[in-house]
Amino acid sequence: MKIWQKNIDVDSFVEAFTVGNDRAMDLHLAAADVLGSLAHTQMLNSINLMSDEDLDVVQKELKQIYHDILAGDFTIVDTVEDVHSQVEMLLTQRVGEAGKKIHSGRSRNDQVLVDLKLYFRFEIQHLVQRTDILFRKFIQLSERYKQVLIPGYTHLQIAMPSSFGLWFGAYAESLVDDLEMLKAAWKVCNKNPLGSAAGYGSSFPLNRKMTTELLGFDDLNYNVVYAQMGRGKTERILAQGMSAIAATLAKFAMDVCLFINQNFGFVSFPAHLTTGSSIMPHKKNPDVFELVRSRCNKIQALPNEIALMTTNLPSGYHRDLQLLKENLFPAFQSLGDCLEITAFMLEHISVKEHVLDDPKYDYLFSVEVVNNAVLAGVPFREAYRQIGLDIENGTFQPSKNVYHTHEGSIGNLCNDEILRMFNEVKTGFGFERVEKALDELVK
């Protein structure tokens, strides 16, 4: 029997189709569901819809279920439709009639909305922590190899001198902007939809600001219709934040796949971190980075997937929204794994120290020679024309001393400023305040 059923049996084929993979997906929401119920029941007590005695036993047992979930001792049985039903069933079995009172003033619609937002907050914090580790590894490598020059490319053609310091530092700063995108998603996720019920509010005098404070939300989704409309939109915005990080990782992975190639030979990894060929004994394939590239490209498709699943839905709840879990939830694990494995691989990267000694890179320094002539008083266009003629005539002589001093250049990476920006963005999430509120809720 389902919590929404009266006395009508649902055809098993229809039930299997409509429930689908939701039980497995809902396990991700179990801890969040209990947190939501802990806050909701305290609010019910404050408006005299739950007695002090009932609140006592309900709170105690909900906290036990919460700890069971954290310990991995929680399942959703086949006869139960979703995580909300499972928690309510367990609670009622253990405390009796008091357990049947926890659903007053809410619907499964706003229950899943608050579960999702609590869960998304947790996953965002997890991604930020892993991004932080990778960011600091990029900064560390940028500083370590800031004096080691490599070719810079435009159109995949040799262009101007670059350095490993610039290369690693570029990806560090890219993660700063990615974190800005993820912070925007955090702000959307950190608004409380609880109390919107089925999307049209409740005749009970709910105290929605109380649950907002108890759950550590920054603010409310005030309009109850919009609270429900936010489902799908929230997931799309979150996917956009994740896709920003994924784009940075995919681009870096592509660079590594090029630079490890023998025609470049700029970086290498120990043999045990690459793969070989079944017939070519010389091969050291960058499978890790090829899979990071592919996984992250898949994540970059996620916002479009979500948009196509929700774009023509009218306001109000629709069962289509259930399937968003199957697209989004696995992406958290995948992106987290990509961040973690990239940081791990960077612990073992080796760089080639004297790449630009090869004469094929001499033309990299053409701009340096032009600029030196300009500094000596030659008009830029005249200097440019003369060096171009020297290159055509085969008489060009490179000047391999590189003096770049402006902000963000080879000789002035500004990694301290990039670190400052990253720390400012990270601090702006306010994870500590959320953790404090939830710790208070379950203590």
Q: How much is the pLDDT for 312?
A: 87
Q: How much is the pLDDT for 362?
A: 87
Distance CA 179, CA 422 (A): 8
Classified as helix, coil or strand, 159 is strand
Kindly report which listed range (13-22, 61-70, 358-367) carries the lowest average pLDDT score: 13-22
- Report the sign of the C-alpha dihedral through residues 344, 345, 346, 347, in that order: positive
Q: Is residue 6 pLDDT above 60, yes or no?
A: no
Q: How much is the pLDDT for 399?
A: 80
User: What tokens were used for 136?
Assistant: 């600091």
Q: Is residue 120 pLDDT above 60, yes or no?
A: yes
Q: How much is the pLDDT for 147?
A: 93
Q: DSSP code of 364?
A: G
pLDDT tens digits along 211-245: 999 999 999 999 999 999 999 999 999 999 999 99
Phi, psi of 158, deg, nearest 5 = -55, 130
Kindly report which listed range (290-294, 400-404, 423-427) carries the lowest average pLDDT score: 400-404
pLDDT band at 330; cut points 50, 70, 90: very high
With beta carbons less than 8 A apart as the criterion, state whether 71 and 97 touch. no
Q: Is residue 27 pLDDT above 70, yes or no?
A: yes
User: What tokens were used for 197?
Assistant: 């019920």
User: Which of 10-14, 18-22, 176-180 is predicted most confidently?
Assistant: 176-180
Is there a shared CATH topology between the 12-101 domain and the 108-145+162-357+415-442 domain?
no
pLDDT tens digits along 191-210: 999 999 999 999 999 999 99
Q: Is residue 122 pLDDT above 60, yes or no?
A: yes
Q: How much is the pLDDT for 405?
A: 86
pLDDT band at 18; cut points 50, 70, 90: low
Q: How much is the pLDDT for 2?
A: 53
Q: Where are the domains of the chain?
A: 12-101, 108-145+162-357+415-442, 359-393
With beta carbons less than 8 A apart as the criterion, state whether 342 and 249 touch. yes
pLDDT tens digits along 332-361: 999 999 999 999 999 999 999 999 999 888
With beta carbons less than 8 A apart as the criterion, state whether 418 and 139 touch. yes
Name the more confident of 224 and 78.
Answer: 224
Name the more confident of 402 and 12.
Answer: 402
The answer for residues whose C-beta is within 8 angstroms of residue 367's C-beta and 6 or more apart is 160
Q: Is residue 171 pLDDT above 60, yes or no?
A: yes
290 by Cβ neighbours in 10 Å (0-12 / 13-18 / 19+) ranks as middle
Distance CA 182, CA 250 (A): 17
Q: How much is the pLDDT for 93?
A: 93
Q: How much is the pLDDT for 38?
A: 97
User: What tokens were used for 62?
Assistant: 């909900």
pLDDT band at 273; cut points 50, 70, 90: confident
- Which H or E run includes 338? helix 324-346
CATH of domain 12-101: 1.10.275.10
The answer for residues whose C-beta is within 8 angstroms of residue 275's C-beta and 6 or more apart is 283, 284, 285, 287
At the topology level, CATH places domain 108-145+162-357+415-442 in: Fumarase C; Chain A, domain 2 (1.20.200)
Residue 436 vs residues 4, 193, 430: alpha-carbon distances, Å: 35, 20, 10
Q: Is residue 5 pLDDT above 70, yes or no?
A: no
pLDDT tens digits along 246-263: 999 999 999 999 999 999
- DSSP bridge pairs for 285: 275
pLDDT tens digits along 139-157: 999 999 999 999 999 999 9
pLDDT band at 1; cut points 50, 70, 90: very low
Q: Average of pLDDT values for 97-108?
A: 92
Distance CA 403, CA 216 (A): 51
Q: How much is the pLDDT for 278?
A: 59
User: What tokens were used for 308?
Assistant: 């196509």
Residue % of the chain over a pLDDT of 70: 94
DSSP string, 181-205: HHHHHHHHHTEE-TT-TTTT--SS-
Residue 199 vs residues 4, 103, 221: alpha-carbon distances, Å: 17, 15, 11
Classified as helix, coil or strand, 412 is strand
Q: How much is the pLDDT for 287?
A: 92
Name the more confident of 133 and 18.
Answer: 133
Q: Is residue 19 pLDDT above 80, yes or no?
A: no
- At residue 422, what is the residue type? F
Q: How much is the pLDDT for 4?
A: 45
Q: Is residue 125 pLDDT above 80, yes or no?
A: yes
